[in-house]
Amino acid sequence: MELWFTEKHTPHVNFSIKVDKQLYSGQSEFQRIDVFESREFGRILALDGYLMLTEKDEFIYHEMITHVPMAVIPDAKKILIIGGGDGGTAREILRYKSVESIDLVDIDEEVAEVCKKYIPQTADSLNDPRVNCYFEDGLKYIRHHENEYDLIIVDSTDPFGPGEGLFTKEFYGNCFKALKETGIMVNQHESPFYPADAYAMQRAHKRIFDSFPISRIYQAHIPTYPSGHWLFGFASKIHHPILGANWKKWKALNIKTRYYNPKLHVGSFALPNYVEEIVREV
Ligand code: SAM
């Protein structure tokens, strides 16, 4: 019998990947965690039935959420990742020698444990001595930090379930406070394509826009995410995401990437008209 992983993208659209077998299934205190093995996409991590990453295309998401802000502040030393328990974002950040420490705050320790066992491609990074893992709610963690981080990356689940608080005005305001004067916050910003997702992304954008003086959206093509068209938010206190990029320094680091490059960095901020309209309505 054929086995398929299927995610409901809308009440009328399903996305399916044929899988060879299920490697893990368990219910944590916060969510259901599943890992599948597939021929086309390698291993797949799903939380509550929603696809979080596949081994084949995770590089796109993790490079774009990391190198876009790091090209602007390539000397960043202290990084906070909220969510990101699969380790993919930490892996990319660890490629910068300037980084002294990464505080990774994921609500669910079991995600990290399962990924260490089944998806070492991303989760090996969590064993690095520069990574400090805290297993608690990011919404609560951020309340107690001020003027501390160069970069905050919000690598969360979607705005429902445990991730809901990470899309609130309170959270973004506290991220602003936790950043240094030159700080940047980047977040996964949902898809603009299907109306329910577009509404969530518009609401999040408005809250970030109201919390930071500089706030822009950029995009990437991620084949296994709903519609394949994914957005990220870039918010900062002083840095413009394109004019502020330090290409000389970034290129000198000689970091080999498979998706990200400086031309794509610039182009990723050029949005299709229909997305501009959603953003302009804010
Ligand atoms: N790349 C993925 C995506 O957009 O589909 C997201 C990565 S996934 C590893 C997100 C992580 O956020 C999960 O491990 C989940 O446990 C964590 N998370 C959800 N709500 C959270 C919260 N309130 N505080 C901290 N981490 C949270």
70 pLDDT higher than 80: yes
Q: How far apart are CA 208 and CA 72, in angstroms?
A: 19
ipTM rounded to 2 decimals: 0.98
Residues 64 and 40 in one domain: no
Residue with structure tokens 């876009």? Answer: 68
Residues annotated within the binding site for S-methyl-5'-thioadenosine are 31, 106, 137-138, 162
Residues 99 and 80 in one domain: yes
Residues 121 and 160 in one domain: yes
Domain assignment of residue 98, given as a range: 57-281
- φ, ψ for residue 84, nearest 5 deg: 65, 25
CATH code (residue 70): 3.40.50.150
Q: Which helix (H) or strand (E) holds 274?
A: helix 273-280
- 13-17, 181-185, 194-198, range with the lowest pLDDT: 194-198
| pLDDT attached to residue 262 | 98
CA of 38 from ligand 1 middle (Å) equals: 22
List the 229-236 sheet strands across, edge first: 131-134, 101-105, 78-83, 149-155, 179-188, 229-236, 214-221
160 pLDDT higher than 90: no
Q: How far apart are CA 187 and CA 216, in angstroms?
A: 11
For residue range 24-63, what is the model confidence (pLDDT) as tens digits? 999 999 999 999 999 999 999 999 999 999 999 999 999 9
Mutate to test the pocket of ligand 1, among 106, 158, 189, 219 (most ligand atoms within 8 A of CB): 106
Residues 22 and 85 in one domain: no
Nearest of 123, 117, 205 to residue 169 by alpha carbon: 205
Strand partners, 38: 19, 42
228 pLDDT tier (thresholds 50, 70, 90): very high
Beta strand 13-27 pairing with 32-38 = antiparallel
Residues 193 and 132 in one domain: yes
Arithmetic mean of pLDDT over the chain: 96
Closest atom of ligand 1 to CA, residue 86: 9
CATH code (residue 24): 2.30.140.10
Residue 80, classed as helix, strand or coil, is strand
Q: Which of the pair, 160 or 75, is modelled with greater confidence? A: 75
pTM greater than 0.90: yes
Mutate to test the pocket of ligand 1, among 64, 107, 136 (most ligand atoms within 8 A of CB): 107
Residues annotated within the binding site are 31, 62, 86, 106, 137-138, 155-158, 162
Residues 165 and 226 in one domain: yes
For the residues 215-219, what does the mean pLDDT come to? Answer: 97
Residues 223 and 128 in one domain: yes
| pLDDT attached to residue 174 | 98
Residues 88 and 125 in one domain: yes
Residue with structure tokens 């970030």? Answer: 208
List all residues whose CB is within 6 A of at least one atom of ligand 1: 52-53, 61, 82-86, 105-108, 111, 137-139, 155-157, 162-163, 165-166, 188
Q: How many domains does the chain have?
A: 2
